[in-house]
Amino acid sequence: MSGYKFADNEAPKYTEKEFADLSKSDGRLKHTSGVFSRQILRANREHPEMADGEGNTYNHAPDMTFWNGYFWVQYLSNRKDEHEPGGLSFISRSKDGISWEKPHISFAKLLLPSKDNLCSDGTIVHIPENTFAVMHQRTAFYVAPNGKLLTTGFYGYSPDHAVPWEKNGLGRVVREVFPDGTMGPVYFIYVMYSSGWKKEDLPYPEYREADDQEFIDACNALLNDRFETQQWAEEHGNDCEHVFLKTHNEVYNRYENKPYQAFTRYHINKNTVVALWKHGITGISFDDGENWLIKKEPSFATTGAKAWGEKTSDGKYALFYINSISSEHRYPLVSLVSDDGINFHGISTVFGEVPPRRYEGLNKDFGPQYIRGICENNEEKPDDAVWLTYSVNKEDIWVSRISVPIKAYPDHYFGSSFDNNMYLEPWNIYSTCFATVENINGAMVLTDKDPLDFAKAELNFPACDKFSVEIDIRCEKYEKALEIELCDEKGSVCERLYIENGSLFGRNTSVKQFIGGFDEKRHRITIEQNCVECESIVFLDGKKVCDIRNMQKVNAVSRLIIRTKPERTAPGVDKRPVMPDIKNCDHASDERKYTIFSVYTKKLT
């Protein structure tokens, strides 16, 4: 067991005073530039063949790695509720992080034996007949020193939706993942014998019984990697010899009673390692994890939605977490940067959307949550960017690619076609399974057949009070509108154009102003924005067509948004995530398609 004491100034902290405003889903913060966000699973109850094949609507706690030239994501999945019996895990992979294979089961539903378990502390846990296990996992993947990829999960019992671990835990299972996506047999890597289980109760053998010595070696390496096994703390409890930091409730507020939850770490140098847990708990060790300084760091202003930190490819450091102190309102997902790994600054929103939660379920909190990235001990990296995975509304699974260096604004104004720019940098992309944003043959193409959500492309640029943008675009005639907005750094909209029903409109306060016809040919829309005079001049195919008074006063513009549906409002901190299913959300609507060939922006004098 490592030593610990409470830190004062040594642990990581946020050094500035700007925080998210939860009345807006992006917190009214600056946005991180060059973020490509892709939904890789859209839960679908009525058409499970379009999702995971099961129709589950509670999907959560993804983990991510990069191995053998593929991205891999595993997540847990229940029919509709948190800690629901009959849970399982799914795994999916992708060559580029954009196109993902259909998820398939990595750990299946497990029927528990009916019995009374006598725990080591004398407690008796009764498991009724026909009880299925709950699947839970804080971490999944481990790339072993011998090159094998392991994935793990934890089976437990959840009476009345109680936590399925410690006394209620059965044990941690493991299997090998092969390069072609198939997997080896399931074994137990750790059994909760302290919870009263016996060897004859186990539905799978223990890993030492495997025929493959290299697999056994990989499992032993995992068990001896304390930074990996510390992530098992909640499920295994203090009795586990592989959990080196035991529960110390003093570090939490006096009314809380929680272990160190959802451990993650990054190294500053060979001996200096930083730890992050839920609820803003931070730690630092100067002897590679033997002894720790630990504290609850209020400057991060977060709750139980997990955090992620890593050293980035430019030699700096980045933290990612949910900047909200409301556990039910887990938005926005933000980034901080640091030169030394301790003092963090420059808060900006990485993922600022809270789409409608489509399905009712227990403890399905709003927003992006449970962030995980590619572990620092992975020798194989996909590129120089940061990659994250997380769930949204505990319903859908997403990944994000964040360009490095991490910053809110590019150094220049964008003016180009899209060529072979796969991730459409420096644009921010919001692309769902039913409403996509893709580079197709050198053009940025937005499609939308989602009954609720939208596709969105956003460009940040250096703030200026006089600005010009030219958009080369083609689209069919659609009843629903494509919206084009100019905003300031807080998201306040000063100008909005609409393409709908074969026409181009502008917004003049509450009134839509007709600008001109817009047929199915390729057209150039130019907007010259003047924040001093609070007006825009609009050109269509090089010809001036109108002057439009701005919707509201802004001092400068710094954001261009192209979106296939209207902007939505955040749930708000006074709204609980308790609501019925949304009807007709599983069926795709008629598809709309918009092709953008180039965008040119510049500062005007």
**pLDDT(478) > 80:** yes
Look at residue 456 and tell me if it is in a domain. Answer: yes
Q: How do residues 80-102 score in pLDDT, each as one tens digit?
A: 999 999 999 999 999 999 999 99
Q: How many residues does the chain have?
A: 605
Is the residue at 226 inside a domain? yes
Number of structural domains in the chain: 2
pLDDT at 477 over 70: yes
**154 pLDDT above the threshold of 60:** yes
* CA dist list (Å): 248 to 23, 281, 308: 35, 12, 22
DSSP letter for each residue of 487-518: E-TT--EEEEEEEETTEEEEEETTEEEEEEE-
Give phi and psi for 249, each to the nearest 5. Answer: -70, -15
Tell me, yes or no, whether 59 and 169 share the same domain: yes
Q: Is 14 exposed, middle or buried (0-12, 13-18, 19+ CB in 10 A)?
A: buried
Whether 310 and 165 map to the same domain: the answer is: yes
Give the mean model confidence (pLDDT) for residues 324-331: 96
Q: Are residues 301 and 394 in the same domain?
A: yes
Q: What is the pLDDT of residue 257?
A: 45
Place of tokens 């083609």: 474
Domain stops at, among 402, 424, 455: 402
- 250 has pLDDT over 60: no
Q: Which residue has the tokens 């150094």?
A: 411
**Is 29 domain-assigned?**
yes
Same domain, 396 and 419: no
Mean pLDDT of the chain: 94
Residue 561's pLDDT is what? 98
Number of Cβ atoms within 10 Å of the Cβ of 472:
17
Q: What is the pLDDT of residue 249?
A: 53
Contacting residues for 497 by C-beta, under 8 A, at least 6 apart: 483, 484, 485, 504, 505, 506, 507, 515, 525, 527, 538
Does some domain include residue 408?
no
Composition of the chain by helix, strand, coil, percent to 5: 10, 40, 50
> Do residues 184 and 204 touch, judged by C-beta distance below 8 A?
no
- 430 conformational bin, left if phi > 0, alpha if psi -120 to 50, beta if neither: beta
Q: 319 has which bridge partners? A: 309, 336
Q: Does the pLDDT of residue 253 top 90, yes or no? A: no
Do 157 and 112 touch, CB atoms closer than 8 A?
A: yes
305 shares its domain with 334: yes
- Contact predicate 175/189, CB 8 Å: no
CA-to-CA distance for 225 and 227, rounded, in angstroms? 6
**CATH number of residue 391's parent domain:** 2.120.10
User: Does any domain span residue 410?
Assistant: no
Residue 388 one-letter amino acid:
L
Instruction: Identify the DSSP state of 113.
Output: P
Which residues, at least 6 apart from 17, have a Cβ–Cβ distance to it below 8 Å? none
> pLDDT of 508-528, one tens digit each?
777 899 999 999 999 999 999
Question: Which of these three, 351, 370, 402, is where a domain ends?
Answer: 402
Please report whether residue 227 resides in a domain.
Answer: yes
521: containing domain: 415-603
353 and 423: one domain?
A: no
Domain-terminating residue out of 361, 380, 402:
402
Residue 409 counted as domain residue: no
pLDDT at 6: 55
Q: Residue range 373-385: average pLDDT?
A: 92
Contacts 24+ apart (CB under 8 A), 272-277: 272/341, 273/227, 274/11, 274/12, 274/309, 274/341, 274/342, 276/12, 276/307, 276/308, 276/309, 276/319, 276/321, 277/307
**Judgement on whether residues 188 and 57 belong to the same structural domain of the protein:** yes
Segment 204-213 shows an average pLDDT of 98
Residues 347 and 427 in one domain: no
Helix (H, G, I), strand (E, B) or coil at 450: coil
Phi/psi of residue 166, each to 5°? 45, -115
> Which amino acid would we find at residue 21?
D
> Where residue 558 sits, what CATH number does that domain have?
2.60.120.560
**Cα 477 to Cα 471: distance, rounded to the nearest angstrom:** 18
State whether 393 and 475 are in the same domain: no
238 inside domain: yes
Higher pLDDT among residues 246 and 438, named by residue? 438
443 and 319 within one domain: no
Q: Report pLDDT digits (tens) over 258-303.
A: 557 999 999 999 999 999 999 999 999 999 999 988 888 999 999 9
Q: Cα separation of 489 and 474, whole Å?
A: 28
Q: pLDDT above 70 covers what percent of the chain?
A: 96
CA–CA distances in Å: residue 302 to residues 110, 291, 293, 368: 35, 25, 20, 13
Confidence band, pLDDT 50/70/90 cuts, at residue 254: very low
308 and 375 in a single domain? The answer is yes
Decide if pLDDT at 117 tops 80. yes
- Max CA distance (Å), the chain: 83
Residues 533-592 pLDDT 10s: 999 999 999 999 999 999 999 999 999 999 999 999 989 888 999 999 999 999 999 999
- Mark whether 270 and 130 lie in a shared domain: yes
Q: What are phi and psi of 228, to 5 degrees?
A: -75, -45
Q: Residue 59 pLDDT more than 50?
A: yes
Arithmetic mean of pLDDT, 380-392: 95
